[in-house]
Amino acid sequence: MPRYVHVPTDATAHLIRQAYDAGGPYQWAREGWRNSEESGATRIVFDVERQAAERLGVLRRVIIDNGAGMEPDDMKDFLTTFGGGGKPIGVDSNFGQGFKSSVLPWNSYGVVVISYTPSTPEGSMLWIERDAEGNYRLREWDIEDELGDVMRYDLVAPGPDPEHGCDWSRIRPDWLVTGTIMVLLGSKPDADTIDGDPDPSRSESAKGLLRYLNSRLLEVPMRSNGERVDTTVVALENARERTADRRSTRDISITTPDHRTLVVHQRKVNGLKHFIPANAVTGSAIKVDDHGTEVQWFYVPEPQQAVDGSADYVGQKPVVVVNYQGEAYHADTSFTRYRQFGVTDEIRGRTWLVVCPPVYSDQHPTKWGVLTQASRNMLIAKGGSELPWEAWGDSFYNNFPQDLADARDKAREKTTVSSDPDMAKNLSRILDRLNPRFKASRLVAAAMGKIAGFPTGLKSGAPTVRPVKVVAKSSGSAGGAGGTAGAQEIIAAFPGGPVTGREAPLRGGYPTFQWKEFAPENQKYLADYNQKDSGTDAEGNLYQGAVYLNIRHPVFVQEMAYWSDSVWPKADPNEVRKLVRRVYGEEAVAHVVHAQRLNGSVVGKDGDGSVQRLGPEDVEELVTRPALSAALLGLVNVEQRILTQGGGQFGSRANTA
């Protein structure tokens, strides 16, 4: 008989700990909710165990569902098998370790599981705990039989337990016929677990649990019979902290032994999409690759609040997420993520994006899809690679919804894009100087190409990265999708992509620059580059990409003060600042354009003689916020240009005193 691979008992605790560390805050809640949902439950409650609260003042978190329940043998498998639990195991279904690895490390004293099924109507109870050696085991009870003999059992019927302040059978609510109850006991008999994991780095709380579930679940599922999977989270607060609009006669309260009165708040979980306002503008989902990945988009117009019911929603703002089997992964509200999809800063705070890729399945191993890591905390693509955010973003940007473009243009009516009459001429001169020497390398579709990738929908041979559709000035600036007939298709390199391509040198257009206040997390930087900001300025000049300059950065504030107060104090300070901003803006654009023209340039050879080239990732490093900020420091040529151009406009320095 062959010998099979197994995990030694003393190694299991280390595997559980590793999986726990890989998970994020409230991972135990996700795993508990998913187990209940998969059991067929239509009601799931994250409750507090009332008996121990009233008798001992101990606040224990309890998860209760009215699912199918677990038979005694299944309960043992669920709690004692790492990598199993009575459900299918597979990359697209279950790993059999989620709940155990996310809950056991911080509940070393124990987790009590009580389950009710048609064959065990009085319930079966197990208690898993960590022993002195750090291994997990089932607690055993000494029970006297009818003959007076004492036997040890790990599976018992729930009953009175004075030591822990409760009768385990009385935790069962009236509405539960079949189902499962899980009581989290924490690290010691008197531990409070109502707020979740006590690890300070996870910052969990009862109210945070509600917001987590509302942001993790895209929508609350519906059963085939039309029943909603009703999910409730219980939180507690001191009676004296009740808000004035709550009627005390309707409050449920708990009185602890030290005479504290705790008010029970029961709040519903509705899912992330519930918080997208009903009047949000939306349209057909945008297909962003040949595998069927789509991006759903929603824009909330003013004056409507961008989020409905934000007190129960963790982000309290719109977000970009990936939909994986009804759950939201990789939630991101950053400027960087939105800019990947061409959503500019003006409309970021009102735009929701839900990316819906195909799920990788064991049943179809040759098809591309995404899957979750064992921690259930992040997604990866088939083959273990990162999600193709750039390819998705490029494709969405090329097929940018007209409604979003219109919203962006309307928002820009309140902002200022550089419109100095000489800007286009100056930038063109910079480009004319750079373009003959440096041409951008792009990956274009080719049947005999050797580099795999995804089609972006972009075309080569255009003066800009994405051709901009010109509309009447009264309609705002450019938006929507564009294309160049007869040109080669540009693809984004990605392992396993459906098409092949080759590198080709192409000439590109130029960005613009905008002075603006930076978000708090980026205030330390002088500049930022957004390749997917496109449109027309006030003079009708087309631009592709924008360099943002931090108008509040001390370096620029001091520069403005120096030139307006010390060099040309008698000139109009607004005109002086305008000149300084224009010269710095043109310099920043020149850095970006120069960097882009280096794409594909040969920079040396490896030890084996193979050629080294600068690629897109190298260019991206040259135009990051830190790189651009450093490039704008100590520019003697900029100072000279300001002095020269200002001298003709405001007079020489000697004539200003």
Task: Specify if 263 maps to a domain.
Answer: no
Task: Specify if 504 maps to a domain.
Answer: no
Cα–Cα distances in angstroms (integers) from residue 434 to residues 462, 504, 529, 593, in the given order: 17, 18, 19, 8
How many independent structural domains does the chain possess?
A: 3
What is the H or E stretch that residue 113 is in?
strand 111-117
Cα-to-chain-centroid distance, residue 43: 28
Q: What pLDDT was estimated at residue 95?
A: 41
Check if the beta carbon of residue 192 is closer than 8 Å to that of residue 59. Answer: yes
User: In terms of domains, do 526 and 646 share one?
Assistant: yes
Strand 327-332 with 320-324, pairing:
antiparallel
In 3D space, the residue among 204, 180, 179 whose CA is nearest the CA of residue 193 turns out to be: 204
Helix intervals (H) in 598-653: 616-622, 625-631, 636-650
User: In terms of domains, do 379 and 433 share one?
Assistant: no
Check if the beta carbon of residue 547 is closer than 8 Å to that of residue 524. Answer: no
Q: What pLDDT was estimated at residue 150?
A: 77
pLDDT beneath 50: ranges in the chain = 86, 88-96, 244-245, 247-249, 418-419, 421, 436-441, 461-479, 481-486, 506-508, 654-657
User: In terms of domains, do 429 and 539 share one?
Assistant: yes
Q: What pLDDT was estimated at residue 12?
A: 79
In 3D space, the residue among 208, 159, 143 whose CA is nearest the CA of residue 51 turns out to be: 159
Strand 512-516 with 542-550, pairing:
parallel
Task: Specify if 327 maps to a domain.
Answer: yes
Task: Specify if 229 maps to a domain.
Answer: no
Check if the beta carbon of residue 225 is closer than 8 Å to that of residue 39. Answer: no
Last residue of a domain, one of 158, 185, 209: 209
Check if the beta carbon of residue 352 is closer than 8 Å to that of residue 319. Answer: yes
Spell out where 446-595 has E strands: 451-459, 489-493, 499-506, 512-516, 527-536, 542-550
User: In terms of domains, do 552 and 642 share one?
Assistant: yes
In 3-state terms, what secondary structure has residue 365? coil
Tokens of 218: 């895209």
Task: Specify if 521 maps to a domain.
Answer: yes
Q: Which residues contact 546 (CB under 8 A, 6 or more apart)?
A: 417, 511, 512, 513, 514, 529, 530, 533
Last residue of a domain, one of 209, 240, 255: 209
User: In terms of domains, do 401 and 516 share one?
Assistant: no
Report the CATH number at residue 80: 3.30.565
User: In terms of domains, do 327 and 205 share one?
Assistant: no
Task: Specify if 319 maps to a domain.
Answer: yes
Last residue of a domain, one of 192, 209, 226: 209
Q: Which residues contact 73 (CB under 8 A, 6 or more apart)?
A: none
User: In terms of domains, do 516 and 623 share one?
Assistant: yes
Q: What pLDDT was estimated at residue 229?
A: 93
Check if the beta carbon of residue 397 is closer than 8 Å to that of residue 43. Answer: no
Q: What pLDDT was estimated at residue 434?
A: 53
Structural domain for 614, as ranges: 423-437+511-657
Q: What pLDDT was estimated at residue 595?
A: 86
Task: Specify if 169 maps to a domain.
Answer: yes
Count of residues making up the chain: 657
138 Ramachandran zone, left/alpha/beta (phi>0; psi -120 to 50): beta
Q: What pLDDT was estimated at residue 92?
A: 47
384 Ramachandran zone, left/alpha/beta (phi>0; psi -120 to 50): left
DSSP string of 397-420?
HHT--HHHHHHHHHHHTTS-----
User: In terms of domains, do 184 and 318 share one?
Assistant: no
161-185 pLDDT, tens digit per residue, is 999 999 999 999 999 999 999 999 9
Task: Specify if 607 maps to a domain.
Answer: yes
In 3D space, the residue among 381, 377, 374, 373 whose CA is nearest the CA of residue 83 turns out to be: 374
Say how far apart CA 298 and CA 302 lie, in whole Å. Answer: 13
User: In terms of domains, do 381 and 428 share one?
Assistant: no
Q: What pLDDT was estimated at residue 165?
A: 95
User: In terms of domains, do 78 and 202 share one?
Assistant: yes
User: In terms of domains, do 390 and 433 share one?
Assistant: no
User: In terms of domains, do 60 and 25 share one?
Assistant: yes
Cα–Cα distances in angstroms (integers) from residue 369 to residues 95, 332, 379, 455, in the given order: 18, 21, 10, 17
